[in-house]
Amino acid sequence: MRSISTLLCLFLLLSPSWLIATEKEPSTDIMAAHAQQAENYLNALAGEEGIGVRLPGSEAEIKAANYIQTVLEGFGYKVERQNFDYINRRSKEPQSSQNIIAHKAGTSGKSIILGGHYDSTAADLGSLGAVDNGASIAVMLTIAKMIAELDQQEYGFTFIAFGAEEVGLVGAYKYVEQASAEQIASYIGMINLDGIVGSDKLYIHSAHSTPYTCKDNTENYKFDPSLRNQLYAVAQNVSSSYTFEIHPGFEGYPKGETGGWSDHAPFACAGIPIGNFESTNFDINGRSGRDGYSQSTNPALWTCFDEEAVGPCDRETEQKWGKIWHTGSDRIDILESLFPGRIRQQLHANLSVLGAFFTHLDENVAAMKEAQK
């Protein structure tokens, strides 16, 4: 296995255009190898024999942080562990958590962030946090490995695994609060991964055109869809089983814009352009309309699903609402039984787009800057 991996890495290094939007198609073998590696990370974090549910402040969350740190160090990164204390907004108990940070410098001193949270919730319902948010960390680790093997570019890369997201985006806020003004100014964008597999469709969002409720004030808030738009442009030129979409507008949320409920929000509040990857289904007429809070039309995830209405048979008696996040369905074994092969296919799709974007980051940032003029 080691010799095969070495050959794949050598091919990747000799072929930096493996995923860029050109007439040249990516190697199926290489993409399969990356998707398999991501699946291995996912199983280690959220599999039945892995770490499993990772409640904020728990020993399992610490175990997950240690695992992420070890993997990143194995790629050659010098890893920073940012410890912090907080009050759990649900239990009101004092707790501790940590962010795990790795960086590869560029020649310009500026970089882009790829991040996602590694804690999970709904342990009482049987969730193991595969979708929310083990798969995102699995993809981040796979991309970090790919980047570690590339030559230095003009722009650098910062990878952040956030702790305690499920109790108020604590890790992300702590990171932004403790960053210097110079450090914040050095970030050209932040890509957030949250719930990126498992559901019917894949989306890329920008921050909302109306400022989020930021902790301090909104004077630095940034609505800049250039990062989302460039990621989406790359996605349109990458072949995979799943295509990425921009969600249609719905009440309170214009087309392609998302709320401040994940780790991208503190960065938007700090004035950094964001792109948010998410898997859900905005076609479903869920409990509050077509807002993405129902993730699938699979009848097993509904009390009764009306295909014609793309929603419940009876809104008064519906109990499940097609949900995966924060439910007992957020497990690899259940999702594989409901959607055979979907997790791997969607890991592949996410890796294809992010790989194409990061492998040629300099060119993509140039396109972003042109759009910002």
- Residue 359, in any domain of the structure: yes
- What's the CA gap between 205 and 341, in Å, rounded? 25
DSSP-derived letter for residue 222 is: -
Contact 351, 239 (CB under 8 A): no
> Does residue 51 fall inside a structural domain?
yes
**Is 7 a member of any domain?**
no
Question: What confidence tens digit (pLDDT) does each residue in 292-334 have?
Answer: 999 999 999 999 999 999 999 999 999 999 999 999 999 999 9
Q: Are strands 187-193 and 274-280 parallel, antiparallel or unpaired?
A: parallel
Q: Evaluate if residue 167 carries a pLDDT over 50.
A: yes
pLDDT of residue 217: 77
Q: Decide if pLDDT at 95 tops 90.
A: yes
Token pair, residue 205, equals 């969002």
State the average pLDDT over residues 203-227. 94
Q: Is the pLDDT of residue 360 over 80?
A: yes
Distance, in Å, from the CA atom of 22 to the CA atom of 15, rounded to the nearest integer, reads: 13
Average pLDDT over every residue of 202-231: 95
Position 309 in a domain = no
What is the rounded average pLDDT of the residues 332-353? 97
Query: 218: pLDDT confidence band, cut at 50, 70 and 90?
Result: confident
pLDDT at 215: 87
pLDDT score for 17: 36
**Residue 239 resides in a domain:** yes
Q: Look at residue 291 in the predicted model and tell me its pLDDT.
A: 96
Q: What is the separation, in whole angstroms, between the first and last Cα of the chain?
A: 48
pLDDT of residue 30: 78
Instruction: Classify burial at 185, counting beta carbons within 10 Å of its beta carbon; exposed 0-12, middle 13-18, buried 19 or more.
Output: middle
The boundaries of the domain holding residue 208 are 38-291+325-372
Name the domain count of the chain.
Answer: 1
What one-letter code names the amino acid at 364? N
Alpha carbon distance 196, 204 (integer Å): 10
Closest CA to 129 of 61, 35, 67, 27: 61
Does 281 reside within a domain?
A: yes
Q: Read off the CATH number of the domain in which 130 is found.
A: 3.40.630.10
Lowest-confidence segment of 5-19, 31-45, 233-247, 284-298 by average pLDDT: 5-19
SS3 95: strand
Q: Quick one: pLDDT band at residue 27, thresholds 50, 70, 90?
A: low
Beta bridge partners of residue 158, listed in sequence order: 103, 113
- Does any domain span residue 299? no
Does 140 map to a domain? Answer: yes
